[in-house]
Amino acid sequence: MQFEVRKFLFIINPKSGAQRRYDWEYMIEKHLKADLFLIVESVSPAHSDELVRQYSEDTNVCVVAVGGDGTVSELAKMVYKFNLMLGIIPIGSGNGLARHLKISTSPAKALARLTTGKPKHIDLIKVNNRYCCNTTGIGFSGLISRYFGNKGKRGFTTYFKLAFRLHKESKCFDVVLNDKLFKDVWSIEIANSSQLGNNAIVSPLASVSDGIMDVLIMSKPKSWQIPGLIYMVFSRNILKSSLSHFIRASELIVKLPVEQEHHIDGEHRGLISELEVKILPSVLKVIL
């Protein structure tokens, strides 16, 4: 091991269906001695916060998020607050940040990397009083998150079925970004990493260590434009679309005359009319 970790605290999201497939203790013991790790299933975000707080005085603790982007985001705020280290075992429905960081979605391979890697500092995004690791969205992506979170079965197929169903009923809106008016906007994605998840690339130029947010502003596609738009997303060519507008910023004030649906790292955060968004450069230590 290339750095000193006195304890690995594995916090598992029980809502992630994939976690039930694995005997975590058996898997982890292949890589770590029993006295080096603790496995806990979180019952709520508040429970996760308390678990991290218990180890906050030892900066050589690595908190390992076993779940998707929402789990990573929830734990990252506490890891950042107490200057700990974050590990990721991606078993969520999209795993956007993990894929961007090239962390394997195979738990065994992710565990192996966790025990041989070293800490790297990455950026965080502060969204009002919350924190975002991967992407935060307004409009259509926020609308999808509203329904996706209530689905018993998540995953790529469920997400796309929802997207097609909600496309017709989704509305465009006007928005002011840093005092500039954008009209008839369908969706906005403010990105730290390059993708939403499942290799759906919304910000192909993004870096998690450049101190800059990538902002994708989309017009609503007509039905016949959807296949081409999907191809552009998965071929890293979304910025070539006539429907896209791209800006970069370290701080962003978002003002909406009409409230819109909002998500942070795929988790629905309700309706919002104003956001203050800013990058926090190189504040989160992730083992890579």
Q: 3-state SS of 2-70?
A: CCCCCEEEEEECCCCHHHHHCCHHHHHHCCCCHHHEEEEECCCHHHHHHHHHHCCCCCCEEEEEEECHH
**Three-state SS for 146?**
helix
Residue 231: strand, helix, or coil = helix
Question: Is a pLDDT exceeding 70 seen at residue 151?
Answer: no
pLDDT digits (tens, 9 = 90+) for 134-148: 999 999 999 999 988
3 state DSSP class of 211 = coil
pLDDT at residue 202, rounded to an integer:
97
pLDDT attached to residue 231 = 96
Lowest-confidence pick of 20-24, 243-247, 262-266: 20-24
Domain 7-117 grouped into CATH 3.60.110.10: no
153: confidence class by pLDDT, cuts 50, 70, 90: low
pLDDT at 17: 56
Cα 55 from chain centroid (whole Å): 24
Q: Which two tokens stand for residue 213?
A: 């947010």
81 φ, ψ to 5°?
A: -60, -40
CA torsion angle 229 232 236 238 (round to 10) = -50
Q: What does the pLDDT read at residue 277?
A: 99
Residue 166 pLDDT grade (very low, low, confident, very high; cuts 50, 70, 90): very high
- 172-227 per-position pLDDT tens digit: 999 999 999 999 999 999 999 999 999 999 999 999 999 999 999 999 999 999 99
130-281 folds as Tumour Suppressor Smad4 (2.60.200)
Nearest to 65 by CA among 100, 36, 97: 97
HSE-CB for 113 with a 13 A CA cutoff: 21
pLDDT at 42 over 50: yes
Q: Could you give the 3-state DSSP secondary structure of residue 173?
A: strand
pLDDT digits (tens, 9 = 90+) for 232-241: 999 999 999 9
244: pLDDT strictly greater than 60: yes
> Is pLDDT of 1 > 50?
no
Q: What average pLDDT does this structure show over 140-164? A: 82
Mapped onto helix, strand or coil, the DSSP state of residue 169 is coil
Q: pTM score, two decimals?
A: 0.93
pLDDT of residue 160: 83
Does residue 99 register a pLDDT over 70? yes
Strands (E), the chain: 7-12, 37-41, 61-67, 85-90, 119-127, 130-132, 135-139, 173-177, 180-185, 187-191, 213-218, 244-249, 251-264, 267-287
Which residues does residue 264 pair with via DSSP β-bridges, in sequence order? Answer: 136, 267
- Where in the chain are the domains? 7-117, 130-281
Q: Which residue has the higher pLDDT, 159 or 86?
A: 86
Say which residue the tokens 């750095």 belong to.
3
CB atoms within 10 A of CB 232: 17
The whole-number pLDDT of residue 238 equals 97
**Residue with more model confidence, 19 or 137:** 137
Return the CA Rg of the chain.
19
- How open is the CA angle 149-151-157, to the nearest 5 degrees? 100
C-alpha to C-alpha distances, 251 to 35, 53, 96, 270, nearest whole angstrom: 43, 29, 22, 22
Number of H helices, E strands in the chain: 8, 14
**Residue entry with tokens 């956001």:** 275
Distance CA 177, CA 251 (A): 10
Residue partners of 140: CB distance under 8 A and separation at least 6: 166, 167, 170, 186, 187, 218, 220
Give the amino acid at 4: E
